[in-house]
Structure 1
Amino acid sequence: MTSILTNGNAMAALSTLRSISSNMEDTQNRISSGLRVGSASDNAAYWSIATTMRSDNMALSAVQDALGLGAAKVDTAYAGMESAIEVVKEIKAKLVAATEDGVDKGKIQEEINQLKDQLTSIASAASFSGENWLQANANGSVTKSVVASFVRDDKGNVSVKKVDYALNGGNVLFDTSGGNLGILDKTYNVSQKSVTVSVNTDGVASEHTVAAYSVDDLIAQNATFTTNTVAGKTTQLADVGGTFYVKIDENNWVEAMDVTGTGQEAVHDEGGVYYGVDTGAGPATAVAAPSSIANINIVGMSSTALDALISGVDAALTDMTSAAADLGSIGMRIDMQEEFVKKLSESIDKGIGRLVDADMNEESTRLKALQTQQQLAIQALSIANSDSQNVLSLFR
């Protein structure tokens, strides 16, 4: 049936044209935005995932900035510690030089004073962004943290991971709390000098490690020395307030006891009283150094005290080396984490792209096809509309 009121062909052609125009609008939006999923209405699941991951990527960008800041702090502390180690090495060398007979300790002390000032300068200057890890509270209650990563677990919970570095007496040069707990302002306990000797008792030899003393040690304690020669063998005995010491080699004296009738081979014969090694006189486990590095003053210091001070400085060097190694390992970890965060961020970008980015080759092809379809639909609508005009010819 032909009707001038209802044109079914035109209505069908118009519906097709509207559908094509809608598809063209979607395709043009994808081409202009570059997104296949630009809003929740396009694909709610993909849009939700992409939005969450974009948020996480922004957090990772902040983590990268924090890692850069943390790396700068660690590098500054490491540079300061490395420089301080070189200065303390110089101080140790000066102290060893001071052990030589006839050396002017006053002149050496002047050099040491300059080195101590340099240590103070290094510790004060090793600051970045207001933080100084070498000159801080060393009571163990302060922990410095560097943001390392932003993590979302499989349950959707988020957390920020950090690299912690606890400041304590083993890695802080100067203690700002006033407790003198820093490496350079604390007094170290050092092991007493010892020597291992072979003691013959009733024909059976056994080794014993005992405390060792130099002649300067004994002189400093106002010792009284006696010498005895028996059968061409000369031995020496020192008396320090009733405690006796025998000389066992060129450099060492050990505590002695009366071994008359004990079966132990005598080292010294003092008028019929025989003295041997006191095997129970083991070295002390902890002898305090005369001062901290920050307060070194060797003028008038005895050789015994100087030896203990050198041991204390060596112990401080061990702590400083360990602290520098810790800082170096943290710096390496931060560098590795920076690289990982960068790669992780790139991976997330790629993942988001796979979900929501438009394939421009595909969209371009689709647009060309839709443009052709649109032209055909317009032509079809034009033909359908002309059907009503053909009715006029029936009434002529």
Structure 2
Amino acid sequence: MTSIVTNVGALSALATLRTISGSMQQVQSEVATGARISTAADNAAYWSISTTMTSDKKAISAVADALNLADAMVNVAYEGLNAAVDVLAEFKAKLIAGREPGVDTGKVQKELDQLQDQMMSIATSASFNGQNWLNTNVNDIFDPAQNTTSMVASFSRGASGVSLGTMEHRLAETSLFNSTGGGLLQADPRDPKTLGGIRYEYLDTDRHLVRSTSNYSGSGAPSFVFNFTGPLQFGAGDSITFDVTVDKDNPADGLPNPQDPGLTTSITIDRSTIDTVLGAGANGRVSTYVDYERVLFHALSATGSGAYATTYTDWRHQPIIDRIGIGSNETSGLNGSYIGISNFTSTVGSGGLSNKEQFSSRGQDHTLYFKPFRIFDGVEVSFDFDINRAAPQSYSFDRDYINTTLGETDGSVDTAVEMQTLLQSMLSADWPDLIIDVPTADTITLETDVNADRLAGAKTSIGFTGISVNIEPIPTLNFMDIDIAVRPDLIETYINYVDVVSERVIDGASTLGALQNRIGLQGDFAESLMDSIDTGIGKLVDADMNEASTRLKALQTQEQLATQALSIANSANQNILQLLQ
């Protein structure tokens, strides 16, 4: 039906044209922006994800920039330490030259002064963006809370929110000079020195400071010596007689009664003894000290006296002429350690032997010479301890142990009484007969209770072995204080010191090298991560340009046809009006 009120064809064509125009606007937007989702109205979920990830990409880009900054800082510090290694090598060479006889140490020191200045210049110049890892100002460089510097390394978004990952560097590993001490080229303030007397210090023949790894007290079996006077001529009725006593208790050791009198054996040397030992050809004559020692050794051994006779040699292993010794084998099974000759009689002369006696001391009495010390974080002391060569027990302590045991806060042991408490806390449970006492303000004694341990002599000992501090060796000098013109006698000590600090500086450079590698890997990962985010966002919101351009061409054609259809529909009413004219 045709109507002049409602043009159904025109309305239909107009509706089609509107639909086509709307689609064309969307496709034109995709072609113009390259994104099929550019507003929240296009797809709220995908638009939200892409917007968040775009923001994260910008954050990761900032992390990449921070990594580049950190890489520059590490590179500057590494080059500084690398230069410091070269200076130390040259410094050592000059020290060795200064050791040669006839060298003017004053002139060599002038060269060393220049190298010391160069080292300081390297440390102060290795700065980037106001940061210097070689010349620091840290109150306690060994405190992780104070010596740690952080660098941004990563950005991540998780269920709990956004977080930044960091890489940390300890300045103690690279600082050459620190304002409060503790730099790689400075005396290490963590030096525990004698550990309160557990170990001792001495300078060896090359003037190197040596810390003992053991502090052990023992005793030897008792003996005495005499010089042979002879010869001795034994006839048929001649003899030498005496009593030999071994291993009686020493009243001076404070042992409770009763005191053991030891093992006493009567000894007789006559013509038959001489013939047995030296042979009938000797005709009863003891001509030399070697002959007399052989006769005495036989007489003491044959009777089971527990004593012996011996001769001696000097440090060149040459015989000491006429020197004879008498001692205890300590095989009697008694606690004491003693040798004694009594009731000596002779019809042929003494040969130098006479009434004599000798006690041996108790080896389980030991004195420590206390000096205050402090244990820092990260430092651990370990040692073994034993009494009378029993199976040693292992012990260790650190800052926390000291603080807990002594009620301290800084890991310090300030008095001999505190050291006594520390030792008792470790040793007393395993060695119940051990007595630890403080006779003076700077001495500590370790000994066993004589009521429980009456032993004396070679079978006794007490003390520490395997003493170790986990951070040693450490420098005990300051690099800038080295002066061979003033102290030429310390050249060997200085050379040893340079060896130690060189290793520390090399370790610091190695640490920076590892950090450089990690920063490089993290930077590459950040770049790769940003590329991956770009790809992911593109898959969500990017338009397919081939498809969009094809659709646009089709919509343009449809728009032309719809416009033409609208024109035709509008012309129908004009035809009706013409019929009515």
Change (3 A) 1:298 1:391: same
C-alpha distance in 2 between matches for 1:93 and 1:190: 30
Please list, as runs of the form range in 1=range in 2, the aligned pairs for 1:16-31 lying within 5 A after superposition: 16-31=16-31
Cα deviation digits, residues 322-349 of structure 1 (max 9, x gap) = 0000001101111111111111111111
Pairing of 1:353-368 with structure 2 (within 5 A): 353-368=538-553
CA drift of 1:66 comes to 0.6
- In the alignment, residue 25 of structure 1 is paired with which amino acid? Q
SS in 1 for 2:42: coil
**Matched-pair contact (CA < 8 Å) for 1:288–1:308:** no
Closer/same/farther in 2, CA of residues 2 and 216 from structure 1, 3 Å limit: closer
Partner of 2:567: 382
Report how far residue 216 of structure 1 moved: 8.3
* % identity of equivalent residues: 44
TM-score (norm 2): 0.52
2:26 and 2:46 map into 1 onto residues whose CA distance is: 17
Q: For 1:151, give the aligned amino acid.
A: S
* 2:214 counterpart residue number: none
Indicate the residue corresponding to 1:51 in structure 2. Answer: 51
Match of 1:311 among 496, 505, 520: 496
**Alignment partner of 2:149 out of 129, 144, 150:** 144
Aligned pairs (5 A) from 1:64-143 = 64-136=64-136, 137=138, 138-140=141-143, 141-143=146-148
Report the CA distance between 1:74 and its aligned residue. 0.3
Cα 1:6/1:80, change in 2 over 3 Å: same
User: Match of 1:184, SS?
Assistant: coil
Secondary structure of 1:39's counterpart equals coil
- Unmatched segments (≥5 aa) in structure 1: 192-210, 218-259, 275-279
Which residue in 1 is equivalent to 2:176?
Answer: 173
Distance 1:273 1:341, change over 3 A: farther
Equivalent in the alignment of 1:40: 40
Partners of 2:42 and 2:77 lie apart in 1 by: 52
For residue 131 of structure 2, what is the amino acid of its counterpart? Answer: E
Question: TM (normalized to structure 1)?
Answer: 0.75
What secondary structure sits across from 1:32 in the alignment?
Answer: helix
Moved more, 114-123 or 355-364: 355-364
Structure 1 residue 98: deviation in Å? 2.0
Cα shift at 1:373: 0.1
Deviates more, 1:126-135 or 1:86-95: 86-95
The answer to whether the 8 Å contact 2:37/2:47 transfers is yes
Amino acid at match of 2:315: V
Q: Structure 1 residues 183, 216: CA separation in 2 closer, same or farther (over 3 Å shift)? A: closer
Tell me the secondary structure at the aligned position of residue 60 of structure 2: helix
Task: Give the equivalent residue in structure 1 for 2:161.
Answer: 157
| Contact 2:155-2:164 at 8 Å conserved across structures | yes
* Preserved CA contact (<8 Å) 1:212 1:283: no
**1:74-110 deviation digits (Å, cap 9, x = unpaired):** 0000000000110011111111222222221111111
Deviations 1:16-73 (A, max 9, x none): 0011011111111111111110000001111001000000011011111111111110
Tell me by how many angstroms 1:300 deviates. 4.6
- Matched residue SS, 2:171: strand
CA distance in structure 2 between the partners assigned to 1:51 and 1:363 by the alignment: 23
What is the aligned residue count? 326
Aligned to 1:267: 315
CA contact (8 A) 1:190 1:289 kept: no
User: Where do 1:212-361 residues align within 5 Å?
Assistant: 213-214=204-205, 267=315, 272=323, 291-301=477-487, 303=489, 305-361=490-546
CA deviation after TM superposition for structure 1 residue 171, in Å: 2.2
Secondary structure of 1:294 counterpart: helix
Q: How far did 1:375 drift? A: 0.5
State the 1:113 CA deviation: 0.5
> CA offsets, 1:155-179, max 9 Å, x none?
26211111100111x4210012x2x
1:99-131 Cα distance to aligned partner (Å, 9 max, x none): 222221111111111000000100010000000
Pair 1:372–1:264, CA change in 2 (3 A): farther
Q: Distance in 1 between matches of 2:521 and 2:170?
A: 21
Q: Provide the C-alpha distance between the structure 1 equivalents of 2:109 and 2:57, rounded to a whole number of angstroms.
A: 58
Q: Find the structure with the greater CA-based Rg.
A: 2
Shift of 1:273: 9.3
Between the aligned partners of 2:312 and 2:68, the Cα distance in structure 1 is: 69
Distance (whole Å) between structure 1 residues aligned to residue 532 and residue 53 of structure 2: 11
Secondary structure (helix, strand or coil) at the match of 1:267 reads coil
Change (3 A) 1:5 1:103: same
Q: Are 1:184 and 2:370 counterparts?
A: no
1:164 match: secondary structure:
strand
Where does the alignment leave 5 or more consecutive residues of structure 2 unmatched? 194-201, 209-307, 326-462
SS state of the match for residue 299, structure 1? coil
CA contact (8 A) 1:185 1:295 kept: no
| 8 Å Cα contact 1:190-1:308 kept in structure 2 | no
**One-letter amino acid of the counterpart of residue 267, structure 1:** W
Once the two structures are TM-superposed, the CA of residue 287 in structure 1 deviates from its matched residue by: 9.3
